[in-house]
Amino acid sequence: MTMGRHDMQLRSITSIFRQTAKWMACAAAAACCVAGVALPAHAVDEEPISLPQTAPSQAPSPGFLPGHILKISARLDRTTYETGDDEIEWVTHYYVFVWKGPDGAEITRDDCQQIANTFWAGSADNYTASAVYDLSGCSFDAYYLKDAQHAFYSLDESGHIEVRAPLADLSQFAQAFENATITDFEISFSYIRNAQCNGNPSRTDLDREITADRHSSTCTWRTFDGATIPTTDDPLMVGDIEPFFTTYTNGTVGPFTDLVAPVNPFTITPAPTTDPATGASAAASGDRSETGKSSSTGLLIGIGATIAALLLVGAGALVVALRRKK
């Protein structure tokens, strides 16, 4: 698939959001980051973070990463993704950025790795993810291909679309830390018209013209502007798709589906455990019961053997006595 100019624009919008989030982190952390606005110095210091394929076995304890004051920004959009062999496919992209708030401890690479191990684990078909650490914080990207995208949008036969984001999971994610706040969230979908935003965003940019017959819409929530970040998975954008949504970006008709990954650790049901005291008592009781049964069985066998031996002796004596009498 050849990438057109409008594709480049959409990818640039995603990149701008990422850079804006990081510049905000810099501005909040120290004035010395102003120089990074033109060309962020941290860009050359990015270090990849490994993402576990296996989901965690239990939810984290309250107060995750103590001593940190964290800010969280997130974004949901549809964009192009290089799947290999120069193939480019339209995907739904979910991005989360965790950065240091004022007066908090510095975020280290190990901190990012802990976050990844706990909250960004799991694997699934039509899903790929990545994470990086740099001096501004931790960046997590998830890309959903083909039908896995229906975790984020539902589309009916009439062309009506509803778009949602995993904000209930994001809210639990923030609450897991000792001190963390979601400051920004944004949804941006292209090839939709007659768009409306739900959830009282602080800013909207609806039906923005890309070309004469192609449009894009964005809903933005920023606590700095007085908005409250939604905490449910209710649809936040509704509208009607344009032909390009299905013919060019391979959007498909279908209802909402479950999110395939990353795995929310708070939804994991812990494996049942046996209380040590109860288990030991039950085991001891079982042992005693089995021992009692074995003893009783042994006693009965012994008695039976004795009786059999006596009968044999008696029978033998009777035979001898009868022969002598003859």
One digit per residue, pLDDT tens: the chain, 326 residues?
A: 444 444 434 444 455 555 555 555 555 444 334 333 333 444 558 999 999 999 888 888 899 999 999 999 999 999 999 877 778 899 999 999 999 999 889 999 999 999 999 999 999 999 999 999 999 999 999 999 999 999 999 999 999 999 999 999 999 999 999 999 999 999 999 999 999 999 999 999 999 999 999 999 999 999 999 999 999 999 999 999 999 999 999 999 999 999 999 999 998 876 555 554 544 444 444 444 444 444 444 544 454 554 444 444 444 443 344 444 44
CA distance 232 to 221: 14
Residue-level pLDDT at 175: 96
What's the maximum distance between 2 C-alpha atoms anywhere in the chain?
131
For helices 109-119 and 167-176, angle between their N-to-C axes, nearest 10 degrees = 130
> What stretches of the chain adopt beta strand conformation (E)?
47-48, 70-84, 87-100, 127-134, 137-144, 153-155, 160-163, 180-190, 192-197, 203-211, 214-222, 237-241
CA distance 19 to 155: 31
Residue-level pLDDT at 45: 81
Q: How far is CA 319 from CA 131, 288, 308, 324, 325, in A?
A: 95, 46, 17, 9, 10
- 268 Cβ partners below 8 Å, 6+ apart? 55, 56, 57, 58, 59
3-state secondary structure of 227: coil
- Which residue type sits at 173? F
Residue-level pLDDT at 4: 46
Segment holding 26, helix H or strand E: helix 5-29
DSSP per-residue letters across 186-198 = EEEEESEEEEEE-
Residue-level pLDDT at 5: 43
Rounded to the nearest 10°, the torsion over CA 280, 283, 284, 289 is: 160
